[in-house]
Amino acid sequence: MRPIARGMLAASLALSAAFAASHRNGPLLLEDQTANLNDFYAFRSYEQGKSDRLVMSMSAQGFQVPDNGPSYYKFSTSVLYRFNINNSRGLDGAPDMQIDFQFRDTYRDNPTFVSYFGKINSIDSPGIFLYETYIVIIRDLKQNKILAVYDKDVNGHALSVAPPNLGPNSTPSYEKNLGAPSVFTLANGMRVFAGPRDDAFYFDSGATFDTLNFRPPAPVLSGSADTGQGAAAPAAVDGFAGYNISLIAVEMPITMVTANGGTPTSATDPNGTIGAWASTLRQIVTVRPSPADPVSFGDWMQVDRVGNPLTVEALIPTPLKDRWNRSLPVDDQQWAPYIGDPFFATGVLKGVFNVPVPPAPRKDLLGVFVPDITRVNLFTTPTAFASQNRLGPLGGDNAGWPFGGRRPVDDVVDIGFRALAGVLVPGFTNAPPLGDGVNSNDIPLLDHFPFHAPPHAGFLHSQINGTNGRGTNTNQ
């Protein structure tokens, strides 16, 4: 076999699970999609008048086809969805605070074969036959106590999940009638949201997984291909265009998440940076007394986690991915050999594309991914939505990934490519402007909480027309 062929084969094996933002996250989680986390976002809010707030969101159950009825996607009642916050001990990957979401289903009596029927123009519509609600549990692990439990908002309304976007006949003016009203304010001032949203992740997955069959001008971008919106389809295709995800989002005062309860104002403040990540858990025992419903017992055990984008996909070998998903960030030093000398850098970037990469051990990558938590510099002023740069700090916008948190606009694939090539290594100037050619989401993001765009409507679903920000906005 010729050397280049061997290199391409190795690259294809490495990429079979890489750069999918946890959408296909480990073999076991392919069998457990409601617990399969896709992306985690954490950033200082850039909504007007809300810069004193921290926003976190997690997405699950990716690649949702909007017209996939009559039983639409939902959160699992047997999964605990958890936000973890680390604000002490030099950010060691051990949580100091947790915010849990647990869901409950109510099946309203009806004679139909569908979960939603008729004109649904309110979150209290009787046509919502599958009525999902949730509780929010806030834990202080330093004090080993539960701070608060909420199942209603400040006005006494149940915390309900936004229904799916069926189309203009069933769910007219979706965001006005159903999306925005599903943002609830809690008695402690937090805001929460749970429901379907457009998948904000953008990436030419089809080109990458076809053994690095990048569409020109990728993979080395220059000029407007790098600074602009990116090439329109078919030159670049957003493989996530037109699909929805299940989103859970929280917004809270920064003073709730810092160790001293203050608002950091400078990089020298020891409380200025926090770490955060998301995880899903299931109880250790499940009994299936068929034909009765399953019943779960025992302690909650982690089945998935996500901190930084691309960690498990691009840095952890496939045979170890399930073990990584179940491990804890505080123990991430065990993965340092893979992260400090990543095969994607040496075997793919250097071996296939002849891109020079820094020698191992890669302290630059270890500093970001060990422990695998998203670090948020709370002293960094958020960049206004209209001025955000998709490359974050690589584009002069320090409020983005990997140092200022992660926002929906951040092009984590292109940033990740360049980081693996060595752009974060001091004095290393050989890293080229790598990218997949997709530089923006398929539809416009929001400038306010929960920031992800409304979900695509089933009736209007079209992946072909929704690619790289150039197609039909199918979410009404």
- Let me know if residue 449 belongs to a domain: no
- Asked if 277 and 307 touch (Cβ cutoff 8 Å), the reply is yes
pTM: 0.94
- Let me know if residue 361 belongs to a domain: yes
Radius of gyration, CA atoms only, the chain = 22
DSSP 3-state assignment of 440?
coil
DSSP state for residue 387 in the 8-state scheme: G
- Asked if 457 and 166 touch (Cβ cutoff 8 Å), the reply is yes
For the purposes of burial, counting CB atoms within 10 Å of the CB of 113, is it exposed (0-12), middle (13-18) or buried (19 or more)? exposed
Q: Which residues of 444-464 are buried (b: 16+ CB within 10 A; e: fewer)?
A: ebbeebbbbbbbbbbbbbebe
Alpha carbon 263 to chain centroid, angstroms: 26
- Let me know if residue 439 belongs to a domain: no
- Let me know if residue 429 belongs to a domain: no
DSSP 3-state assignment of 345?
helix
For the chain, 476 residues long, give each residue's pLDDT as a single digit of tens: 333 333 333 333 334 334 445 577 788 888 999 999 999 999 999 999 999 999 999 999 999 999 998 999 999 999 999 999 999 999 999 999 999 999 999 999 888 899 999 999 999 999 999 999 999 999 999 999 999 999 999 999 999 999 999 999 999 999 999 999 999 999 999 999 999 999 999 999 988 888 889 999 999 999 989 988 888 778 888 989 889 999 999 999 999 999 999 999 999 999 999 999 999 999 999 999 999 999 999 999 999 999 999 899 889 999 999 999 999 999 999 999 999 999 989 998 898 888 899 999 999 999 999 999 999 999 999 999 999 999 999 999 999 999 999 999 999 999 999 999 999 999 888 889 999 999 999 889 999 999 999 999 998 876 555 556 665 666 66
- Let me know if residue 256 belongs to a domain: yes
- Let me know if residue 437 belongs to a domain: no
Alpha carbon 218 to chain centroid, angstroms: 24
- Let me know if residue 335 belongs to a domain: yes
DSSP 3-state assignment of 249?
strand
Q: Tell me whether the omega of the peptide bond preceding residue 402 falls within 30 degrees of 0, making it cis.
A: yes
The number of folded domains in the chain is: 1
Cα–Cα distance, 411 to 280 (Å, whole number): 25
- Let me know if residue 414 belongs to a domain: yes
- Asked if 132 and 34 touch (Cβ cutoff 8 Å), the reply is no
For 266, what's the count of Cα atoms within 13 Å in the CB-facing half-sphere?
2
Q: Tell me whether the omega of the peptide bond preceding residue 70 falls within 30 degrees of 0, making it cis.
A: yes
Domain that holds residue 299: 3-420
